[in-house]
Amino acid sequence: MRIRVPATTANLGPGFDSCGLALTLYLTLDVMEEQAEWHIEHGLGAEIPADATNIIIQTALQLAPDIKPRRLVMESAIPPARGLGSSSAAVVAGIELAVALGGLSLTKEEKVEIAAEIEGHPDNVAPAILGNLAIGAKLEGEDFYVRHLFPNCSILAFIPKTELLTSESRAVLPQEIPFKEAVRASSIANVMIGALLQNDMVLAGKMIEKDRWHEKYRARLVPHLLEIRKIARENGAYATCLSGAGPTVLVFAPSDKTNKLKERLQTIDPDAAILELEVEGSGSEIFD
């Protein structure tokens, strides 16, 4: 049995803590034979637990405490601490593991509710479960969200070698912002959503780059953001934005601009990975 969960980008432009997109990078989990204790083979280093304290197993046992231990084999193309939803993918994998081994009958909506409760907000977990674009809010313990198709375009992910922990990136954000600034920030996000729903990447791209919620505070932690944005604009991209809390930067562009953009972006940091991705439309899946 195999479980597959896509990477996600959250905080899409001005959609802070509310807009997320599933991407074609995956965490896969092969469920193997029963054994005396839980063990997960992952090859990610000693800092990632290989026993029952691993977040995948912890999540599964939280939902189905009586499932018998197994040997698990995990492979993940989602780099940790890069703003591509690695922790959310692990939580979702744990939910799917509980469904697969515990005989749970959960709808996708129920999975989103559980995952959002664990993660605190739905912008990463909803697209990981539902696929595509997810716009959500968690209000007084209740989840509200909409899934929609994202406009057709190329997506480049500029992934530096250096990590940036979400806790560090959150620490630079203000505790509050002035009312007028919040109104401006909200109006920009509203126009972005409207443009995406109308399949208008030109207008959506303009709004993505006008975020007032988080990018200007995090820019000093991600010094390559402005340089990438400059190159992207000069080469016909629709928009650039931080992926999640960073340091990954996403570039949305017409497909015929992709090759030139990749060449130019590689000059910023030869050690960075630049991946050409697509929107992932299926969300988390279990394969027999």
- Sketch the domain layout of the chain as residue ranges: 2-149+281-287, 154-277
Say whether pLDDT at 87 is over 80. yes
Residues 6 or more apart whose Cβ sits within 8 Å of residue 15: 123, 135, 189, 192, 193
Distance CA 137, CA 252 (A): 24
Q: What percent of the chain has pLDDT over 70?
A: 100
Residue 86 assigned ligand-binding role: yes
pLDDT bin (cut points 50, 70, 90) of residue 188 is: very high
pLDDT bin (cut points 50, 70, 90) of residue 167 is: confident
Taking the CB of residue 260, how many other CB atoms lie within 10 A of it? 14
- Give me the pLDDT at residue 200, please: 98
- Give me the pLDDT at residue 176, please: 94
Comparing CA positions, the residue from 243, 183, 197, 216 lying closest to residue 22 is 243
- Give me the pLDDT at residue 177, please: 94
In contact, 24 and 198? CB cutoff 8 Å? no
Give the C-alpha distances (Å, rounded to integers) separating 274 from 107, 197, 204: 35, 28, 23
Strand partners, 34: 70
Residue 93 assigned ligand-binding role: no
Distance CA 167, CA 92 (A): 20
- Give me the pLDDT at residue 38, please: 97
Provide the total of helices (H) and of strands (E) in the chain, helices listed first.
10, 11
Query: Could you report the per-residue pLDDT of 59-68, keeping only the tens digit for each?
Result: 999 999 999 9
Residue 187 assigned ligand-binding role: no
- Rounded to two decimals, the pTM is 0.94
Residue 84 assigned ligand-binding role: yes
- Give me the pLDDT at residue 275, please: 97
| DSSP H/E element including 206 | helix 201-208
- Give me the pLDDT at residue 223, please: 86
Query: Could you report the per-residue pLDDT of 256-272, keeping only the tens digit for each?
Result: 999 999 999 999 998 99
Express the helix, strand and coil content of the chain in percent, nearest 5 each: 35, 25, 40
Distance CA 57, CA 64 (A): 10
Domains 2-149+281-287 and 154-277 fall in the same CATH topology: no
**Mean pLDDT throughout 17-35?**
96
- Give me the pLDDT at residue 62, please: 96
**Mean pLDDT throughout 192-203?**
97
pLDDT bin (cut points 50, 70, 90) of residue 22 is: very high
- Give me the pLDDT at residue 228, please: 97
Q: What percent of the chain has pLDDT over 90?
A: 85
- Give me the pLDDT at residue 266, please: 92
Say whether pLDDT at 192 is over 80. yes
Q: What are phi and psi of 258, to 5 degrees?
A: -65, -50
List of E strands, 167-284:
239-242, 249-253, 273-277
Residue 42 is given by DSSP the state -
Residue 79 assigned ligand-binding role: yes
**Mean pLDDT throughout 20-29?**
98
Amino acid at the residue 183: V
For domain 154-277, the CATH superfamily is GHMP kinase, C-terminal domain (3.30.70.890)
- Give me the pLDDT at residue 49, please: 93
- Give me the pLDDT at residue 142, please: 80
Say whether pLDDT at 121 is over 80. no
Residue 141 assigned ligand-binding role: no
In contact, 279 and 23? CB cutoff 8 Å? yes
Residue 22 assigned ligand-binding role: no
**Mean pLDDT throughout 199-205?**
98
More confident site: 123 or 204? 204
- Give me the pLDDT at residue 272, please: 94
Burial of 233 per CB tally in 10 Å (0-12, 13-18, 19+) = middle
- Give me the pLDDT at residue 131, please: 97
Query: Could you report the per-residue pLDDT of 124-163, keeping only the tens digit for each?
Result: 899 999 999 999 888 887 888 899 999 999 999 999 998 8
Residue written as token pair 């046992």 = 61
The two structure tokens encoding residue 43:
């090859």
Its CATH architecture, for the domain 2-149+281-287, is 2-Layer Sandwich (3.30)
Question: What's the mean per-residue pLDDT of the chain?
Answer: 94
